[in-house]
A and B are shown apart, each in its own frame.
Chain A
Amino acid sequence: MSEPILSLEAVETDIAQYHILKGVSLSVPRGQVTMLLGRNGVGKTTTMRTIMGLLRNKAGQIRFDGAEISGELASSRCRAGIGFVPEDMGIFSALTVEENMILAAVSGAPDRARLDWLFTVFPPLKTFWKAPAGTLSGGQKQMLSIARAMIEDRKLYLIDEPTKGLAPAIVSTMVGALRELKRQGASILMVEQNFAVARALGDHCVVMDDGRATWSGAMADLATDHALQERLMGLSMEAG
């Protein structure tokens, strides 16, 4: 088995004076989808932001693609190959869809073929190419946020709750797109509250509680074990 694309070792992060991550250890295998699960407020988003470098860990190690990156800026981490879809989508609403995409293509102009592929996955982006991103619907903004992370090939994608607040029809578009990304061999770490979605996409999962990773294993094991779900996440989530 090859070295994981990402591994965290006893990572601790404070936000202001609050001790939020109290020692998170987890690893994300290459070419697979790892789900980060857990109740609201356990520190999933904080973990994602710490990996991206938007928050600094005060202790522990973050190894990405063989190198320790704790001291790197977020911009360097992106250039090293981490794509980020934040929980709030991080859309630049004053910029057009096109401008959002141009900005996301950090190493030059967006690749035409890649763009055409994204248009087939997310047709509204083509329809509203010249529109200010602020005028898009919630689902379209999420599509833009994911497409932005995908406009260039990244070694790892961090995707924080991509289906939050979306209508079921749009959720299925989203799942289709992420499945396509997965089929191409991308490594993904994804936070997902919708267990049906988590189950449909995830190979592995890591469950967090109170600033720590408390369980990790195969998605299949968690999906079939309702008692385990109950114990880890406090409620039995119906597999859809």
Chain B
Amino acid sequence: MSAAPDHTPTFAKHSITDRIGQAAPYLLVPVLILAGFIAIGAPTSWLTLTVSGLAMGMMIFIMASGLTLVFGLMDIINFGHGAFISLGAFVGVSVLFGLGGWTDAASLPLNIAAILLAILAAMLLTGALAWAFERVIVRPVYGSHLKQILITVGALIVIEEAIHVIWGGEETFLNRPNALRGAVTFAGAALEKYRILAVVVGLAIFFGLRLVLQRTKIGLIVRAGVENPDMVEALGYRLRLVFVGVFIAGSALAGLGGVMWALYEQVITAGMGENMMVLIFIVVIIGGLGSVEGAFVGALLVGLLQNYVAFLEPKLALVSNIGLMTVILLWRPQGMMTVAKGS
């Protein structure tokens, strides 16, 4: 390197505290689990609650991951996201009812195949609806949060009513597929089989999303676009098109989350997605707008805390997540893992 400049580059070395600072959000999960252990005392109850908290967290993460990207990338507040959750659940459950022979069979492969088909149908339908939703509902209201809130809340209500009209009734009950009913016993604790499956699916989605975001050019564009959309355009990319793709994928994930949640609760209503939106917004906010990793950690914290507190002090279960949000925002007002806007 003959043309080396006459200065020695200084690189801001990561100190130990910096490194801990970056990993801190991830560390909160084991810290909370440990705190739960100390507070609960009984190891078997603690293990059951932990698995159920993780399962709940994973499902919330699946529903929140798309919303955080849409929020972070295009600054769109979309309450309609809840409708995609409900719609996914109804479509998925209809498929499961249709495949009653497979779900009732005492065969794990057949049961899983039925669930996969239900998920596929839910994702295809919510994805297709999201494509139209983006064009008709979202596109005209860029740049105005107030209009976004009003029109997406309106759309949420319309889609919920449409679900009532199409599927009728208030509540639809369902059973989990045969091989996923009941619990396995591990170290004396009863762990519901379905919750273990939910954890596996959640992890798969998380690592899949990470892979796409870290290792593909589309992922680079999305991550860069969250930080500085103008510069991504100036480098030659049509962020709009990428955004439409993210919106469709994010809504399809909401549909997937809806199917998973339906099998978890074993009852679905048109308003189920709307009811989830409070927790989902908490997760998106504490994770940091636009951060999939932040949403992941945030969702696990919310799921775990909800389960621990419901056991220890049921009356506080509802306020515990608001408390969590307050504490985290006092610590990091932009959320745990937000990307700085600009440079």
Task: Please give the residue numbers on chain A whose beta carbons come within 8 Å of chain B beta carbons, in ascending order.
Answer: 52-54, 73-75, 78-79, 84, 86, 88-95, 99, 102-104, 106, 119-124, 126-128, 131, 134-137, 139-141, 148, 167, 169-170, 172-173, 176
Residues 207-238 of B, flagged 1 when their CB comes within 8 A of A and 0 if not, give 00000000001001101101110111111111
CB of B11 within 8 A of CB of A104, answer: no
Q: Which of B2-10, B29-37, B60-68 contacts A (4 or more CB under 8 A)?
A: B2-10
Counting from the closest, the 5 A-B pairs by CB-CB distance are A106-B236, A90-B231, A173-B5, A78-B236, A124-B9
Q: Is the CB of B9 within 8 A of A128?
A: yes
Q: Are B10 and A176 in contact (CB under 8 A)?
A: no
User: How near does chain A come to B21, taking the closest CB pair, in angstroms?
Assistant: 13
Q: What's the minimum C-beta distance from A183 to chain B, rounded to whole angstroms? A: 12
Q: With A93-B343, A95-B224, A102-B220 in contact, do A172 and B235 touch (Cβ < 8 Å)? A: no
Can you name the residue of chain B whose Cβ is closest to the Cβ of A170?
B7
The digit string for B12-37, where 1 denotes a CB below 8 A from any CB of A, is: 10100000000000000000000000
**CB atoms of A104 and B235 under 8 A apart:** yes
Interface check B339, CB cutoff 8 A? yes
Q: Which of B5, B217, B235, B239 neighbours the largest number of chain A CB atoms within 10 Å of its CB? A: B235
Q: Which of B2, B5, B14, B226 has the most CB of A within 10 A?
A: B5
15 A-B residue pairings within 8 Å (CB atoms): A89-B343, A90-B230, A91-B343, A92-B228, A93-B227, A93-B340, A94-B226, A95-B223, A103-B221, A103-B232, A126-B1, A140-B9, A167-B7, A172-B5, A173-B5
Determine whether B342 belongs to the interface, using a CB cutoff of 8 Å to chain A: yes
Bound-state Cα–Cα, A91 to B231, Å: 8
Contacts A120-B3, A172-B6 known; A90 to B343 CB distance under 8 Å? yes
**Interface of chain B: mostly helix, strand, loop or mixed:** loop
Interfacial chain B residues near A139, Cβ < 8 Å: 7
Q: Which of B9, B14, B238, B343 contacts A75 (CB 8 A)?
A: B238
Asked whether A74 and B234 contact (CB < 8 A) given A135-B12, A137-B11, A141-B343, the answer is: yes
Hey, which chain B residues are within 8 Å of A127, CB to CB?
A: 9, 11
Chain B residues lying within 8 Å of A53, measured Cβ to Cβ, are 233-234
CB pair B224–A103 under 8 Å, yes or no, is yes
Separation in Å of the A35 CB from the closest CB of chain B? Answer: 21
The residues of B that contact A124 with a CB separation of less than 8 Å are 9, 11
Cα–Cα, bound, A93→B223 (Å) = 10
Q: Given A103-B217, A137-B9, is A73 in contact with B3 using a C-beta cutoff of 8 Å? A: no
CB nearest neighbor in A for B225? A92
A127 to B13, CA, bound (A): 13
B5/A123 in contact, CB under 8 A:
yes
Interface residues of B (CB under 8 A from A): 1-7, 9-12, 14, 217, 220-221, 223-224, 226-228, 230-239, 339-340, 342-343
Q: Which residues of B contact A141 (CB under 8 A)?
A: 343
- Given the contacts A89-B343, A123-B1, A135-B14, A99 and B220 also touching, CB distance less than 8 Å: yes
Q: How far does the alpha carbon of A124 sit from the alpha carbon of B7 in the complex, in Å?
A: 10
Q: Are A169 and B7 in contact (CB under 8 A)?
A: yes
Contact A120 B2 (CB under 8 A): yes
Task: Enumerate chain A residues within 8 angstroms of B339, measured Cβ to Cβ.
Answer: 93-94
Take A75-B236, A75-B238, A78-B234 as given contacts and tell me if A169 and B5 are in contact as well, using a CB distance cutoff of 8 Å.
yes
Residue pair B237, A90 in contact (C-beta under 8 Å): no
Rounded to whole angstroms, the CA-CA distance of A173 and B4 in the bound complex is: 8
Task: Give Cα A20 to B331, complex, Å.
Answer: 40
Q: Is B224 a contact of A92 with CB atoms below 8 Å?
A: yes
A90 contact from B2, B10, B14, B234, Cβ within 8 A: B234
The 8 Å CB contact of B3, one of A84, A121, A148, is A121
- Give every chain A residue within 8 A of B230 (Cβ-Cβ): 54, 74, 86, 90
In the complex, which of the residues A84, A102, A128 contacts B234, with contact meaning CB atoms closer than 8 Å?
A84
A54–B343 CB distance below 8 A? no
Q: Out of A90, A93, A122, A136, which one reaches B11, CB within 8 Å?
A: A136
Shortest distance between the CB of B72 and any CB in chain A (Å): 11
Q: A52–B7 contact, CB under 8 A?
A: no
Q: Chain A contacts of B4 at CB under 8 A?
A: 120, 123
Q: Which residue of B lies closest to A107 (CB)?
A: B236
